[in-house]
Structure 1
């Protein structure tokens, strides 16, 4: 028996109010769950139409289950492991615009349609010069949305009350500003009338956002156990952690229309999402990047094991609380609370997060996630943060490509890989040679956007730690910080 409206006794139909680009696990575990909660607890009385943003996708599978799916939330709550599940019934249908473009366009003619949500990956919000307004559909997401918005404007003769709130969830800075910029660029190129541009600017809103929830997705390894527990087959099961945070630069009207905070959801309506984005990138993402090479070379394979390890776990907490948090401008109490939540999330017993899965493109990640903390710490304190410098040394050691006798499956930018390979190949392991490796890495301006050898004390600190790692091994070197 498969999950469907025939087999689910609680099935309800709601007016279609939300157009959503993306049918993947994250949006279904995050935004769709929130609208589901708003229906239950606030009488929102709305459903989501899901649009498949690329040619190949899963809306057909979603439609086979009438938009229904089971959501499992599993993680630590107040220090205790908790698992819960419920059926989410907020999706009315899925549309593949590559198969039925007119059905997609027709949704813009629905007077009750009010919100546009998207998560089309970081590459989704981009300008494609080959897109045309006559394409059915255009290739890029912004072009699809531009055609949809123009059809809505035309259908309702520019009625300001038929404007929509556009809330992208792509993980790029100023996601809404970038999306609007591309749509206006397309409107100009395509010769759309000035009235449409005025309507877009005055009747529609674009809200920059930050989203945060770990979503492992479809629980393939335990689906047989889940099917037995549920008593029906669900091909769209999705798993996520209880923690969730949605920060939205929302106009007052949107806050009134979507009162997520009033029903207990962690949605923050703010004037500027930047400090929250910086907090997440520096603490959560920065902690991951700081941890990976140290823990892996120590002999650990998962995030949870690392955090719970008496030595590696202490190293990570010291890096966060003593070196990252002092570089941020939000209230200290708020930052420490967020950091403690992050550590609990890393300890989630239901998620097996492999360190190697986070190691992809470590150099670009270090530049965006950790380097800003090093530079800001140096600026504020006048010294080099030793735990973060140790992580940089460990990253250099990691790219030597060996953990004992075991080869490390390195995966990074080709130029960065070649630089490290060449640097290590010419090193004889002496202190002088290791300093030359460090000098080459710190001087790699293509990655750092600057020459890090010019940061007073950084080369010396990283070299010292790299010498200790190479001479004594990670287990001894970490104790010498």
Structure 2
């Protein structure tokens, strides 16, 4: 049977489920980009708010592209299971927080209406780095992008997140409604400021007075989010069905760890976030930088090195002595560039991260992490490289991670298996690399697409690692790197 309101009673009583009246819930949150990460992270916090008796924080989910999540959730009345996995332990919780899912291209007016509803107080976004449509070099909206250009020309049927937000905020202002707190939950440095800049640029193009109102009244708090949420497989769905006695096509799986740090700067009502484990702070940047450079930077290096070597999952990579030692060396290089917040014990954080990486129950695929590398590499590995170079520190492990990304663009593993490059810059990278004949030229060409020009010493190091990767493969390159240390 399919999970739904009707079949929920048949699920074993031991499985946690909503104890509140879902019919009484108000949708105080609109979430743009309702993928697995949101359903396992922010939605879990809003579910806890509902469970506490504060029924203002139901979620209306919005898909800006595909109808797939709506098709998974609608037959289930919005119910889905969050399955927490650690080792042999699996803990399912049926979630009722999502009220409905809208598909923006099908009905953009419904999305604007939801954002402009008097019940809506918060907007959260997980649209991935590329969803902000920002030029990496300038930080400004990519006016040449077809969707951005369409929204700059008119907002009758918005296509971008910024376009939807501006259209809705214009309506709220015209109707005398309260402003919104709008939270980017994507892995971008200074994500709140970047989102604010994109929204204000879009508003300015249509109505400077609206842009001024948004700047003065709405808030765009910076955030840091952390939870490992691997992609769901058919095997996961079948396994959950055996566990709870119902098929759940919208299930998500995650590790036990969940962290959400939010800048304490809201424009209006919000849940009692602190009561549900969220950290409110005046300074998100130190938390954000530590997470991007330690967790995300290591993840990207693991994805490319492990993916080339044939490691399907993150835990495969760190289960080897060489893989584990490489990650530790990478962290040794990055840690001196951090300005950790008072509440972060870096040594304990590293130990905790390694345990999370080693959680084989998650089945976190290296190829999932490898996607959209052009959008991730600047903050995950290139920024640490620049910081280390400024301090005069060692950067050999960072350089190997960057070289692995360049090698990944060839589209073949060390065993000769071909794969597609899943990246918005795939065509540009392919064109840039087509005429590059030497490892050095390939590094210059690939990093040039990202607008990054390394100094001579860094370029030589990355090129030497790329040569090793191309000649000997990822495992041998790691062993060689460790031997040289």
The answer, yes or no, to whether TM exceeds 0.5 is yes
Q: How does the TM-score come out when normalised to structure 2? A: 0.78
Which residue does 1:152 correspond to in 2?
172
Alignment length, in residue pairs? 454
- Identify if the C-alpha distance between structure 1 residues 452 and 230 changes in structure 2 by more than 3 Å, giving closer, same or farther: same
The gaps in structure 2 that reach 5 residues or longer are 10-18, 134-140, 142-147
* TM-superposition CA deviations, 1:415-457 (whole Å, max 9, x none): 6556767666xxxxxxxxxxx634763687615756535238x
Specify the alignment match of 2:236 in structure 1: 222
The residue aligned with 1:140 is: 160
Q: What residue in structure 1 maps to residue 275 of structure 2?
A: 262
Q: Which has the higher contact order (CA 8 A, sep 6+)?
A: 2
- Offset at residue 396 of structure 1 (A): 6.5
**Is it true that 1:238 corresponds to 2:247 in the alignment?**
no
Aligned pairs (5 A) from 1:30-41: 30-41=41-52
For residues 318-333 of structure 1, the aligned pairs below 5 Å read 318-320=329-331, 322-330=332-340
User: For the pair shown, which has the larger CA radius of gyration, 1 or 2?
Assistant: 1
Q: SS of 1:123's equivalent?
A: helix
Aligned position for 1:3: 3
Q: Distance in 2 between matches of 1:176 and 1:218?
A: 29
Unpaired segments of 5 or more residues in structure 1? 425-435
Report how far residue 346 of structure 1 moved.
Answer: 1.2
Question: In structure 2, how many angstroms separate the alpha carbons of the residues matched to 1:351 and 1:324?
Answer: 26
Structure 1 221/379 Cα, relative in aligned 2: closer, same or farther at 3 Å? same
Change (3 A) 1:52 1:374: closer
Change (3 A) 1:185 1:408: closer
1:3-402 paired onto structure 2 within 5 Å = 3-8=3-8, 10=19, 12-13=22-23, 14-41=25-52, 43-54=54-65, 56-75=67-86, 81-96=88-103, 98-100=105-107, 103-107=110-114, 110-126=117-133, 128-131=148-151, 136-155=156-175, 158=176, 162-191=178-207, 194=209, 196-197=210-211, 199-251=213-265, 257-263=270-276, 265=277, 267-292=278-303, 294-295=305-306, 300-320=311-331, 322-330=332-340, 334-359=345-370, 366-380=377-391, 382-391=392-401
Q: Given that residues 232 and 252 in structure 2 are in contact (C-alpha distance below 8 angstroms), is that contact kept between their aligned partners in structure 1?
A: yes
Worse-matched range after superposition: 387-396 or 25-34: 387-396
- 1:37 CA drift (Å): 0.7
Cα distance in 2 for residues equivalent to 1:114 and 1:419: 45
TM-superposed deviation, 1:114: 1.4
TM (norm. structure 1) is 0.79
User: Would the alpha carbon gap of residues 307 and 151 (structure 1) be closer, same or farther in structure 2, given more than 3 Å must change?
Assistant: same
Deviation of the 1:242 alpha carbon: 1.8
Work out whether residues 394 and 466 of structure 1, in 8 Å CA contact, stay in contact via their aligned partners in 2.
no
Looking at structure 2, the residues matched to 471 and 64 of structure 1 have their Cα atoms a distance apart, in angstroms, of 51
> Structure 1 residues 463 and 41 mapped into 2: Cα distance closer, same or farther (>3 Å)?
same
Query: How far is the alpha carbon of 1:323 from its aligned partner?
Result: 1.4
Distance 1:410 1:51 in 2: 28
State the distance in 2 between where 1:153 and 1:420 align.
49
Distance in 1 (CA, whole Å) between partners of 2:255 and 2:358 is 11
What's the C-alpha RMSD, in Å, of the aligned pairs?
A: 3.8
Counterpart of 1:406 in 2: which secondary structure?
Answer: coil
Q: Displacement, 1:197?
A: 4.6
Call closer, same or farther: CA 1:3–1:358 in 2, change over 3 Å: closer
Cα distance, 1:476 vs. partner? 5.1
